[in-house]
């Protein structure tokens, strides 16, 4: 492990994204790994980022880096 660990219990993978919740708007926001660890967010590895699920009625906003969509562009 070189970076920050995934926030999921018993996962030893490096985190690649940061998840935050906006309870008032029933929204989960998943974006690139934040620069530093924040107390009210969760750092997730690729597997847990892809498998993210939220409560019924919530929306998920996924921010991605354009280079991730078109490698080599």
Give, for all 73 residues of the chain, the pLDDT tens digit.
578 999 999 999 999 999 999 999 999 999 999 999 989 999 999 999 999 999 999 999 999 776 666 666 5
Give strand pairing partners of 9.
Answer: none
pTM above 0.85, yes or no: no
The pLDDT assigned to 71 comes to 62
Residue 32 in tokens: 């690139």
CB 30 within 8 A of CB 62: yes
The pLDDT assigned to 16 comes to 95
């Amino acid at each position: 492990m070189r970076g920050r660990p995934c926030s999921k219990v018993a996962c030893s993978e490096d985190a690649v994204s940061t998840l935050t919740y906006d309870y008032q708007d029933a929204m989960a926001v998943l974006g690139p790994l934040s620069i530093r660890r924040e107390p009210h967010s969760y750092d997730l590895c690729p597997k847990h980022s892809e498998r993210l699920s939220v409560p019924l009625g919530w929306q998920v906003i996924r921010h991605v880096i354009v280079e991730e969509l078109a490698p080599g562009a």
